[in-house]
Amino acid sequence: MRISEMLGQYNRNVSNSTEELRNAQSAGKMVSTIGELETGSIFEGTVNSVKNGRVTLALSNGQMISARLDGRVSLNAGDSMFFQVRSNDGTTVAIKPYTTESGVSNPILLNALSAAGIPATERSVAMVDAMMQEQMSIGKQGLLDMARVLNSNPNVNVSTLVQMTRIGLPVSEEMAAQFEHYMAGRHAILGEVEQAIGQIAQAIGSENVPAPEAFLLYSQVLDILQQGEKPDLPAEAVIQENLLPDAEMENTAEGQTAPAKGIPTGEAAAAEGEIKPAAGAPDRPSAVPPQTIGQLLDGKQLENLKQLLQNIPTLAGNDEIFQGPSEGEIFVNTMLDEELGQGVARQMADDKAPLADVKVNKDLTVSQFLNLVRDALMEHGEFGFSGVPKLFASKEFQTLFKNMAEQQWLLKPGELKEENKISGLYERMETQMKQIEHAMRMAGVSENSFSHTASEVRGNIEFQNQVNQIYTYLQIPLKLTGQNASSELYVYTNKKNLRDPDAELTAFLHLDLENLGSTDVSVKMLRKNIVTNFYIDNDASYQLIEKHLPVLEKRLKNKGYTCSVTVSNEKKQVDFVEDFLKKDLPPAGTLHRYSFDMKA
């Protein structure tokens, strides 16, 4: 029986049977005197008369009370409804009609609270209503258990609290905030990560942070982001590396290549646990050439970057950062405020010949460039940081810094085939954000919202961890060429059912791909039978997928699967809570009219 039908049946029974109404424990029994009507309390009453803004009510225990009616409300004699106390000074009670958020005003709510001995407040009534909407038991023990959760989380929305409890998620203010983000479609961790990266870059380039502290923060953040990372190789070296066998190579006397001594390769490496290649796959995925500053910045931006770098005396003559004549007179901005910096710049200028053709080495990778700048400034730190604040605050520098951080906190599509890559990403992200928070405090950066954003990221990750106790769900922040994108994987089947060979496995994958754009894939599998539907929201991608369907079907057939694949030219939207978390929940069973009364 549906909730609405059950409530209707209850009302009809109450209207037709005064005896049953008297037998049911009414909230009116909790009101014996006007003094007991505390502000905020809710009670049931029947309107006897309304005159000059005052209403006379009959309670279910037979008592009559008179109260002032707040607001413009049309009431008629005989109306029975909930009222909430607005104020009570001991002689005059001000009340208003009350309904729950869902618009329900039914005696069953107050009767349930009365039977459980729980005071009727706005939140407790809303709690019972939400539990009924979720088809949860409103017996005495169920209400007492939920009331404990309610009282432990006074700032959490009641409906949110009940839904999380129903699903089996732990309730806290942080988890509830994440749950509501997911309900509202504001859950993409990609946006939070991008915001965090922007806030770090903003802190480094802030005019409120003195240059020495800004440099210290910059240096520490670079170290944090590069923990355990190998230095970038030039693009040519990466290509050459991919052409060679799995281990490092050294030249032989005949000009041939051979594995470096002491490094196991092939089966020997696998036997030693160094390499675990997948069957039929190369020993390791192809490396992706790192982006260079010339790929990220156009000609005008590179020229602006050159001027900013040449305004910094300790960088102006650096033959690794710049390309061009090795001798020359550097450009000096004589308007610099730092007297020490000006003096150093003039002294260095006296020792150089003109550098008319000097250019920033655009073939440097982003990581190489940022490290060269840091190392040069650190080596000559005694000369001060003239020009550094302008560099850190520039659009060009901020673009390069953000790109490096994105390389750490976003994944490339090709990395998804690596085992534990996603879990490793989140672990690294959490650790590094905590370390950066500490670095900001040490540098005296206080006027920055990075800590709040980092907390949101950690909360999102923890929420995903909790969801993954029940289902398989992953958010995948991706770095594509020219854009960042968010993808999600939903496995609808409850984890406890995955071991059942007769259970149907249902999954939904949302992807933002470079060539196809927004792509959604629905998969249902029962044993070796697969039903797949692609949802594509643009015509070109739709035609491309449809054209290659026979290839997909053939490959699946060769693996022993019977497959049915269709393509829909539309966008598929998933409601995270209703379509995913609640999909596998069994109904709570029939709610009986007196399951909450004297026998509870």
User: How high is the pLDDT of residue 551?
Assistant: 86
pLDDT tier at 498, thresholds 50, 70, 90: low
Burial of 404 (0-12, 13-18, 19+ CB in 10 A): buried
| Model confidence pLDDT, tens digit, residues 324-370 | 754 444 444 444 455 555 555 555 545 444 445 789 999 999 999 99
Specify the range with the lowest mean pLDDT, choosing from 142-146, 318-322, 350-354, 494-498: 350-354
Contact 64, 74 (CB under 8 A): no
User: How high is the pLDDT of residue 35?
Assistant: 61
Q: Between 393 and 585, whose confidence is greater?
A: 393
User: How high is the pLDDT of residue 553?
Assistant: 84
Taking the C-alpha atoms of residue 290 and residue 226, their distance in angstroms, rounded to an integer, is: 14
Please check whether residue 48 lies inside any domain of the structure. Answer: yes
Whether residue 157 is predicted with pLDDT greater than 90 in this model: the reply is yes
Please check whether residue 324 lies inside any domain of the structure. Answer: yes
Please check whether residue 170 lies inside any domain of the structure. Answer: no
pLDDT tier at 300, thresholds 50, 70, 90: very high
Contact 353, 327 (CB under 8 A): yes
Contact 160, 179 (CB under 8 A): yes
Q: Which of 98, 118, 133 is the last residue of a domain?
A: 98
Please check whether residue 241 lies inside any domain of the structure. Answer: no
Q: What is the pTM of this model?
A: 0.66
User: How high is the pLDDT of residue 278?
Assistant: 32
| Model confidence pLDDT, tens digit, residues 1-19 | 333 343 343 343 333 333 3
Please check whether residue 449 lies inside any domain of the structure. Answer: no
Contact 93, 34 (CB under 8 A): yes
Whether residue 276 is predicted with pLDDT greater than 60 in this model: the reply is no
Taking the C-alpha atoms of residue 50 and residue 116, their distance in angstroms, rounded to an integer, is: 33
Whether residue 425 is predicted with pLDDT greater than 70 in this model: the reply is yes
| Model confidence pLDDT, tens digit, residues 232-263 | 544 334 333 333 333 333 333 333 333 333 32
Taking the C-alpha atoms of residue 444 and residue 157, their distance in angstroms, rounded to an integer, is: 37
Segment 100-128 mean pLDDT:
78
Segment 225-238 mean pLDDT:
55
Whether residue 452 is predicted with pLDDT greater than 70 in this model: the reply is yes
Domain count, the chain: 3
Please check whether residue 551 lies inside any domain of the structure. Answer: yes
Q: Which of 98, 129, 149 is the last residue of a domain?
A: 98
> Residue 261: which residues within 8 A CB-CB, separation 6 or more?
250
Domain, as residue range, for 72:
22-98
Q: Between 101 and 150, whose confidence is greater?
A: 150
Q: Between 387 and 265, whose confidence is greater?
A: 387
Please check whether residue 279 lies inside any domain of the structure. Answer: no
User: How high is the pLDDT of residue 586?
Assistant: 54
Segment 117-121 mean pLDDT:
87
Segment 484-512 mean pLDDT:
77
Q: Which of 335, 361, 386 is the last residue of a domain?
A: 386
Torsion of Cα atoms, 261 then 263 then 268 then 274, to 10°? 170
| Phi/psi of residue 99, nearest 5 degrees | -135, 160
Q: What is the CATH number of the domain that holds 68?
A: 2.40.50.140
Burial of 107 (0-12, 13-18, 19+ CB in 10 A): buried
Taking the C-alpha atoms of residue 388 and residue 214, their distance in angstroms, rounded to an integer, is: 9
Q: Between 483 and 426, whose confidence is greater?
A: 426
> Residue 585: which residues within 8 A CB-CB, separation 6 or more?
166, 167
Please check whether residue 481 lies inside any domain of the structure. Answer: no
Specify the range with the lowest mean pLDDT, choosing from 2-11, 30-39, 224-233: 2-11
Contact 457, 218 (CB under 8 A): no
Whether residue 542 is predicted with pLDDT greater than 80 in this model: the reply is yes
The DSSP call for residue 593 is T
